[in-house]
Amino acid sequence: MNSAIGDNLPKVGPNKLVVEVLRDGKNGPEVIARRETTNLVVNSGKQQIWRMVAGLQTNLFDQFRLGTSAAAANSAHTNVLSPVASSIRTADQMTMDVGRTMKWVVSYPSGGGSLSASGIVEVVLLNQHTSPGGSCMMRAIITPVNKTSIDKIRISYNARLS
């Protein structure tokens, strides 16, 4: 993970998703847009979690994908509704605190050939790095953000078992 992205990770409450767009500034990366929202753990995610508990499913929820559909999250959703091409990315970090909260962090880098997209509003957490992406655990909708080749995106997601 790029240390500049990993430094000063945002504080995220339980069952929250934070999306930050960063751009290199005079003193290092600066947050130029920040979105925070709750998420919906969808039915397929709940089913796959139970399959993991029972030893019937070995794929971890460690893949993120971005999309552009602003349709409200629905428990029947299994992926993004309008995927951004080449946006499936493996989490850079997955940690569990001493309680019941799991945290995922993923970064989309800047530079030539990096992801560029307008109107990113969907974020999902998937259990496979394939297209269409396996089963999603959660889906969240944010107000739109844009990413150019000079921007980085950092997504932090916390889920608490209650």
At 76-105, the pLDDT tens digits run 888 899 999 999 999 999 999 877 889 999
Residues 6+ apart with CB under 8 A from 117: 66, 68, 84, 87, 146, 147
Mean per-residue pLDDT over the chain, rounded: 87
> Which of the pair, 10 or 78, is modelled with greater confidence?
78
Q: Does residue 121 carry a pLDDT above 90?
A: yes
Q: Tell me what pLDDT residue 14 has.
A: 67
Banded pLDDT at 3 (limits 50, 70, 90): very low
Banded pLDDT at 1 (limits 50, 70, 90): very low
Q: Does residue 117 carry a pLDDT above 80?
A: yes
Q: Tell me what pLDDT residue 130 has.
A: 67
Q: What is the mean predicted confidence (pLDDT) over 114-119?
A: 93
Q: Does residue 152 carry a pLDDT above 70?
A: yes
Q: Tell me what pLDDT residue 135 has.
A: 83
Return the percentage of the chain with pLDDT > 90, whole number.
Answer: 60
Banded pLDDT at 2 (limits 50, 70, 90): very low
Q: What is the mean predicted confidence (pLDDT) over 42-62?
A: 90
